Structure 1
Amino acid sequence: MKAFVITAPRETAVLDVDAPVARPGEVIVDVARAGVCGTDVEFYTGEMQYLHDGHAGFPMRIGHEWMGRVSAVGEGVDPSWVGRRVTGDTMLGCQRCDRCRDGRQHVCEFRTEIGIRDGRPGALAEHLPVPEFALLPLPDSVDDAMGALVEPGGNALRSVRGAQLRPGDRVLVLGAGTIGLLVAMFARAEGAEVHVLGRSARSLDFARSLGFENAWNDDSLPERPWDAVIDASNAAPLPARAVDLVEPGKRVVYVGLAGTPSLVDSRMIALKDVTAVGVLSASGGLEGAIDAYASGLVDPRPLVAATVPLDQAAGVLAGERPAGSGDGPKFHIAIR
């Protein structure tokens, strides 16, 4: 089969590799569409922390935002999966430890991660092996583009849940990229007054085109009482700023990751009686994201700037915007 492989920092190829065979407890998914995110870019540049702490290494097969159709099942798997449109969890816990048994499989010490951790192959390939326990069916009302946006949507939904918003609450979202805008969409669906802090004029104009008129940069951000601040950026100074901005006794949520340590003064958290929530993955939010997409409560498709073939993935990772791309922050790869 064809698979996109990162062989070294900034060196890639579409290679012929052995097609996977379904092992006991697994299915094979014929991948239709996969998304490219900031984590994938960090693998491409060689900056991703897992490359430096031994959890990943080259050659690397990326892709953890995906959807497709089940084409084969292994021993012990319900055969009715064959032919169904699916997506799935990225985080694959061992299913035996205490963390997995109480619903924290996404922080299992022994987990693998699709397209990210410990050699688990990713979805920028024609076929993808996935454990049955990680599968989620997609209804017909969730098209391929939405299906490949379930994983980032699950992260965003968990972030909004972590903020414990009530209708009418004023929330400030730091970052106007894919996760930040999805957070804004899910927060709006909860009835919150949503504000977005971004950097470039293009990203702020795009946020406004999605109906988020309260889109600001550092110079224009108004002084308001923020009931929650959700940091979906990769800027190292913003986690501390989130604590500075949020109302005392309220909540900050951290879903973005900076490339360098982002320092927060714990004294400020204590003295303001702030609750700080970390969000690692979409696990626990995937089903809710599918439901929100299926019902029309949230439509993430405007975020996709373009969908390109597998042989153009390297250009997207390098920061190129193919001709005819829209203004959205997300790029999809069409596998078939």
Structure 2
Amino acid sequence: MRAVVLSGPESCSVEEVPVPEAAPGEVVVEVERVGVCGTDVELFTGELSYLQTGHSTYPLRPGHEWCGRVREIGDGVDPAWLGRRVMGDTMLGDQTCRRCRRGRQHVCEHRQEVGIRGGRDGALAERLAVPAWSLHELPDSVDEVLGALVEPGGNAWRAAQATGLEDGDRALVIGPGTIGLLTAMFLRAAGVEVHLLGVTDASLAFARGLGFDSAWTRDSLPELPYDAVVDASTHVASPAYALDRVEPGGRVVYIGISGTPSTIDTRTLLLRDVTAVGILSASPGLAATIAAYASGAVDPRPLVAATVGLDQVGGVLAGRRPEGGGPKIHVDPSVVRGG
């Protein structure tokens, strides 16, 4: 089968690789759609911290925002999974440690991460092997575009939940990229007044086109009390800025991550009685995200600017994006064309 392979920094190719087999407890999925994530870009550039810690090594096969249909099952897997449309958790804990037993497999010390960590091949391929326990079935109302947006949506759902906000509260979301916009959508669906903070005119115009009229730059951001601030930016200065803008007694949610260490003044955190929450992984939010998409409460399909084939992934990772206003690029492994 064809799969995207990263053999080193800035080295990406589509290669013929063996078709995965369904090991005991696992399934093989025919991949229908995959999202390209900022983590994939960092794997391509060599900047991802896992490459320095040894949790990730080249060559590797990326892709973790996926959906598809189960085509094969291994020993011990319920045959009812065959033919089902599914997406899957990225974080694969060892299922035996204390954290996994408490439902926190996404922070398991020995976890694999699909397409990222621990040698677990990713979904930028025609087929993918994953444990059956990691699957979530997709209803008919969740198409392949939505299916591949469940994983980033789960992260955003958790960030929105972590704000603790309710109908009538006010939030500021820093960074109108995929995660920031998804977080804003979940907050809006809960009745929260959402403000977005960005840098480029294009990103702010796109956010306004989604109905977020309160989209600002730092210079234009109104001096309002923000009951929670979500930092979905990768800028090193954003964590401190978020803390400065939140109301005393409010919450700051950190879901963006910078390439270099960022700092906050814990005196500000303490003296203003602010709660800070870090979000890693969509794992606890996948089912709720599927339900929100299925009901139509949140529809993130406009975030997808274009859908390309595997042959174009290298260009996308290198920054050569197809035309389109949204921040997300999707990949259809069944498409074969040069790029």
Work out the CA distance in 2 between the residues paired with 1:132 and 1:274: 40
Is 1:88 paired with 2:88?
yes
- Aligned mates of 1:262, 1:132 — CA distance in 2: 38
Q: How does 1:14-93 map to 2 (within 5 A)?
A: 14-93=14-93
CA distance in 1, matches of 2:52, 2:116: 13
What are the residue-to-residue correspondences of 1:254-333 with 2, within 5 Å?
254-322=254-322, 325-333=323-331
1:1-336 map, 5 Å: 1-322=1-322, 325-336=323-334
Residue type of the alignment partner of 2:280: L
**Deviation at residue 266 of structure 1 after TM alignment:** 1.1
For residues 14-57 of structure 1, give each alpha carbon's deviation from its aligned partner in whole angstroms, at most 9, with x where no partner exists.
00111111111100001011000110000111101000110001
What is the CA–CA distance in structure 1 between the aligned matches of 2:224 and 2:320, rounded to whole Å? 37
Supply the distance in 2 between the matched residues of 1:20 and 1:266 (Cα, whole angstroms): 48
Match of 2:337 in 1: none
Which residue identity is paired with 1:331?
Answer: I
- Equivalent-residue separation in structure 2 for 1:177 and 1:161 (angstroms): 18
Cα distance in 1 between the residues matched to 2:205 and 2:231: 20
Deviation track 1:33-91 (CA, whole Å, cap 9, x = no partner) reads 10001100001111010001100011111000000000000000001101000001000
Q: Spell out, residue by residue over 1:155-177, the C-alpha distance to the aligned partner (whole angstroms, 9 max, x if none).
A: 00000110011101100000010
User: SS state of the match for residue 252, structure 1?
Assistant: strand
The Cα offsets for residues 230-254 of structure 1, whole Å up to 9 and x where unpaired, read as 0001011010111111001110000
For the residues of structure 1 that align with 2:33 and 2:174, how far apart are their CA atoms?
A: 28
**Residue identity matched to 2:66:** W
Aligned-pair Cα RMSD in Å: 0.6
CA distance in 1, matches of 2:164, 2:236: 24
Kindly state the Cα deviation for residue 187 of structure 1 after the two structures are TM-superposed.
0.4
Q: Using structure 1 for the length normalisation, give the TM-score.
A: 0.99
User: Cα distance, 1:321 vs. partner?
Assistant: 2.0
Structure 2 gap segments, 5+ residues each: 335-339
Cα separation, 2, equivalents of 1:277 and 1:94: 25
Secondary structure class of the residue paired with 1:4:
strand
1:283-323 CA-to-partner distances (Å, cap 9, x unmatched) read 1100011000000000010000000011000111111122x
- Structure-2 separation of matches of 1:63 and 1:257: 19
2: distance between equivalents of 1:228 and 1:74? 46
Q: Counterpart of 1:288 in 2: which secondary structure?
A: helix
Number of equivalences? 334
SS at match of 2:7: strand
How far the C-alpha of 1:267 sits from its partner, in A, is: 1.2
- Per the alignment, in what secondary structure is the counterpart of residue 121 of structure 1? coil
1:77-117 CA-to-partner distances (Å, cap 9, x unmatched) read 00110100000100000111110111111000110000010
Instruction: Give per-residue Cα distances to partners, 1:247-298, cap 9 Å, x unaligned.
Output: 0111000000100011011111111110000000001100011000000000
Unaligned runs of 5+ in 1: none
User: TM-score under structure 2 normalisation?
Assistant: 0.98
Q: Runs ≥4 in structure 1, deviation > 2 angstroms?
A: none
Rounded to whole Å, the distance in 1 between the matches of 2:293 and 2:315 is 29
User: Deviation string for 1:122-181 (max 9, x for gaps)?
Assistant: 000111011011000000000000000000000000001100111011000000100000
* Alpha-carbon distance in 2 for matches of 1:12, 1:226: 43
Whole-angstrom CA distance in 2 between matches of 1:174 and 1:26: 39
Tell me the distance in 2 between the aligned counterparts of 1:297 and 1:270: 36
Q: Percent identity?
A: 63
SS at match of 2:182: helix
CA distance in 2, matches of 1:72, 1:252: 44
